[in-house]
Structure 1
Amino acid sequence: MHKTLGILFMAAVLALPSGCATKGQTGAVIGGLGGAAVGGQLGPKNKRGQNALIGAAVGTLLGYIVGNELDKYDRQQISTALERSPSGQATSWVNPDTGRAYQMTPAPAYTAPNNDICRDFTLTGQDASGRPETIHTKACRNAYGQWVLMN
């Protein structure tokens, strides 16, 4: 387990050369490390290294998508839609910096087992190559009243 996390940490250091990483690369590294840490704690002890690698792969993919595709403006639009849009009503916007168009449709709010208020939603936009992409995910309101995307 420690050897696996050490390898992942070294990969993270190598993936972020001299502060020139893109948001996608940064998101992938953070997601991969988080996924490895969570995966490494799950399942039987003899499978935790394998689970860490699976967690790293899933976290890397989700981190890259969120980091690469959504910048601060997009996250603000998502938060506004989560706060104000009725369930099932699509909200659309175009990011003025990237020119990418997005459409988000929130589902009804619900209380999670930890008592957080959450909403599932569907986000449709374009990936880096311009192909349509749809993501189904959720966000929960934190203790400060801010919506936080959940992986």
Structure 2
Amino acid sequence: MKYFTLPILLAFVVTLSSCGGQVSQGTAGAGIGAASGAIIGQAIGRNTEATLIGAALGTMLGYIVGNEMDKYDRQRLNRVYEEAPSGRASTWRNPDTGNTYQVTPQPAYYPKAKPDTPCRQAEILATIDGKAQKTYTTACRNSRGQWVLQN
């Protein structure tokens, strides 16, 4: 059963993300987050429950990042990953949306799967429409030197 859960979940995500012709950033982020979360959940827990929990958490994180963070916010987040000292919070307010973000990056590490690729985790406290939301992200540097969210 567990060998069928991940392919079915991925097919479902792909099907949903292709509905309606134009996909919003939130929908795309939720789809990518669900798939990534399911893979991570399966890798950690090695059972259906862990896969579903990972998919649910990934969906929520992907939606928040994809829907609420515009280009300005993603540039600021990239700058935090690149320049901010570990453990020191960086904050900003988006002038267009009014959303505020406080991001606290952690020290860089090198994952076993990609020992030449630095990654950093960060805690994000986002205040969106007056409601505080806390989430965690991981970004790894790509071959062009840019930080890419891993969800």
**TM above 0.5:** yes
Q: How far is 1:103 from its partner? A: 1.6
**In structure 2, C-alpha distance between the alignment counterparts of 1:38 and 1:110, rounded to whole Å:** 18
The verdict on how the C-alpha distance between 1:93 and 1:51 changes in structure 2, with shifts beyond 3 A counting, is closer
Q: How far is 1:147 from its partner? A: 0.7
Is 1:123 the counterpart of 2:139 in the alignment?
no
Matching residue of 1:22: 24
Matching residue of 2:150: 150
**In structure 2, C-alpha distance between the alignment counterparts of 1:99 and 1:75, rounded to whole Å:** 15
TM-score (norm 1): 0.72
Which runs of 5 or more structure 1 residues have no equivalent in the other structure? none
Which runs of 5 or more structure 2 residues have no equivalent in the other structure? none
Q: Which amino acid counterpart does residue 119 of structure 2 have in structure 1?
A: C
Alignment: residue pair count: 147
Aligned-residue CA RMSD (Å) = 3.1
Q: Which amino acid counterpart does residue 98 of structure 2 have in structure 1?
A: G
Larger radius of gyration: 1
The verdict on how the C-alpha distance between 1:37 and 1:111 changes in structure 2, with shifts beyond 3 A counting, is closer
Q: How far is 1:38 from its partner? A: 6.4
**In structure 2, C-alpha distance between the alignment counterparts of 1:86 and 1:37, rounded to whole Å:** 30
Mapped contact 1:38–1:52 kept (Cα < 8 A):
yes
Q: Which amino acid counterpart does residue 123 of structure 2 have in structure 1?
A: T
Q: How far is 1:12 from its partner? A: 4.5
Report sequence identity in percent: 44
TM-score (norm 2): 0.72
